[in-house]
Structure 1
Amino acid sequence: MSKFLVRQAFAEAMDLHKQNRFDEAKELYNKILTVDNSEPNAHHLISLIFMAEGDFESSKMHIEKAIDKAPEQAVFHSNYGSLLHSMGEYQLAVNAIKKSLKIDKKLYQSHYSLGIIYSDMNQFEKAIASYTTAIELKNDAPEAHNNLANLFSNLDNSEAEYHYKKTVELVPNEIYPRLNMANYFIKIGRFSESIKCLNELIDMGLESKEVFNSLGVSHKGIEDSQTAKLMFGKALELDPNFLLAQKNLDSIE
């Protein structure tokens, strides 16, 4: 395979990869590696597919080969850290991602990943610092605002509200940013505001059993038992086995 054909194969494989056509992409990456087994980008990219498929050992083998051949690539170390996190090796994951930041201290995905890992390690101050840095680097990243909002909410920190609102602003047509914000308002007793958020979702055609259940909780919070029962009933219409909605309904009957 000539260098031109290798470049062509890479382009096709990456396109298939983006389309989640993993088997076809892997076949092309393997062809490239048959020609040049030391090609770090092919090892890196096929590693990402194995990680997405849950084949962590194969993913680990390839990402380690990629790092061995190109240790100066920050993103390789960053994705290695994400893999180690998926394998439950939290401290090793942190170490790998810190290596990536020594190479490129402005790599957004590394700061974001550290936020996730530190949260899982219950090192919340470090998680906040990591998400904050990620947002400073990429203020239009809804996933970072959402995760930081959830973290602040769990810590009863009022800064959660700003980041929930920012998430909704960035992805206004998705269900979970508004639902998360509504549940935060429920948590702090601002039921009228949670009802407003949830009704916006229904108006957008984004109703779900969780939306109706949260509406029920909100109406119960303002002592509107009739509407609360109606909302819990709608949640159960969508999923008769939704135990939380059933429990909430039973609590007012």
Structure 2
Amino acid sequence: MDKNQKGIEYMQQGKWEEAAKVFVEAIEEDPNNAVAHINFGNVLTAVGETEKAMKFFDRALELDENAVAAYYSKGNLFYEMERFSEAKENFELAMKKGLQTGDNYFMLGMSLIQLEQGRLALPFLQRSTELLETDAEAFFQYGLCLAQTEYIDEAISQLEKSVELDPTHADAFYNLGVAFGFKEKAEKALEMFERALEIQPDHLLAGHGKKLIEQAIEENQ
């Protein structure tokens, strides 16, 4: 088996030391192998060695300026470091150089949200749901972004898909409650807040939303 493949298997098993050893061997055997540098950088990222990881991603790009996985990995690293402009730039570069994955579209959208550019994030988050058809979080974040940009009906549709995929997603139920409340569908909003609290009894926002809706229903009776 190829050393890079073996290292990836170790990573999937959470065996970081074994993975690192194999990737170092791969680099020593072929110092111009960009893939091995990216993989070793991903191991370093996983164990919190962010500065060292960045050097390996940069080295990979010196070896191959079209190594899209290096841009994607750098983007994730910058996102974790809350350097969202640099994260966005790297996800954009990965996309322009051919990385058309759901994860890259998702992270580009999330970077734009962190930069308070929600409307620009929408098409990337939408594309991520098309490519990540079973990813509840992708639908949740897309729905949340739609709600924040005041596309409430569309937001409800996406949040409902999120809870279909993950019936334990308390935050998705909470935000459905908010959206139904905005649409003045009090009974439906109450149901959603209650579902969120069933999943997560200490969900403070859902608890507060439930009280407000119950008060509103009482006043209208």
Normalising by structure 2, we get a TM-score of 0.83
Match of 1:100 in 2: 60
| Rounded Cα–Cα distance in structure 2 between residues aligned with 1:53 and 1:243 | 33
Give the match for residue 136 of structure 1: 96
Report if aligned partners of 1:208, 1:235 keep a CA contact under 8 Å in 2. no
Deviation string 1:98-117 (CA, Å, 9 cap, x unpaired) is 11111111112111101001
Change (3 A) 1:111 1:185: same
Structure 2 partner of 1:229: 190
> Cα–Cα, structure 1 residues 230 and 167, in superposed 2: closer, same or farther, change >3 Å?
same
Equivalent residue in structure 1 for 2:165, among 202, 206, 216: 206
Task: Give the structure 1 partner of residue 217 of structure 2.
Answer: none
RMSD: 2.3
1:61 is displaced (CA, Å) by: 2.2
Counting only pairs closer than 5 Å after superposition, residues 107-118 of structure 1 correspond to structure 2 as: 107-118=67-78
1:62 aligned residue: 22
Give the TM-score normalised by structure 1.
0.74
Does 2:138 align with 1:170? no
Report the residue type matching 2:191 in the other structure.
L
Q: Distance in 1 between matches of 2:5 and 2:86?
A: 29
More deviation, 145-154/47-56: 47-56
Q: Which residue of 1 aligns with 2:219?
A: none
Amino acid at match of 1:177: A
Cα distance change on mapping 1:228 and 1:49 into 2, 3 Å: same
In structure 2, stretches of 5+ residues that fail to align are: 215-221
TM alignment of 1:31-70, pairs within 5 A: 41-42=2-3, 44-70=4-30
Provide closer, same or farther for how the CA distance between residues 62 and 206 of structure 1 changes in structure 2, counting only shifts above 3 A: closer
Amino acid at match of 1:104: D
Unaligned runs of 5+ in 1: 1-9, 11-40
Alignment of 1:152-163 (within 5 A): 152-157=112-117, 158-163=119-124
CA displacement at 1:249 relative to structure 2 = 2.3
CA distance 1:195–1:64, change in 2 (3 Å): same
Query: Which residue identity is paired with 1:198?
Result: L
- Mapped contact 2:109–2:122 kept (Cα < 8 A): yes
Distance in 1 (alpha carbons) for counterparts of 2:145 and 2:152: 10
Distance 1:107 1:194, change over 3 A: same
Contact 2:68–2:99 (8 Å) recurs in 1: no
In 1, the alpha carbon distance for the partners of 2:86 and 2:200 equals 41
Relative CO higher for 1 or 2, CA cutoff 8 Å, sep ≥ 6? Answer: 2
Give SS of 2:213's match. Answer: coil
Sequence identity percentage: 23
CA distance in 2, matches of 1:242, 1:206: 23
Query: Could you tell me which amino acid in structure 1 is paired with residue 141 of structure 2?
Result: N
* 2:221 maps to 1:249: no
The structure having more radius of gyration, on CA atoms, is 1
Report the AA paired with residue 74 of structure 1: A
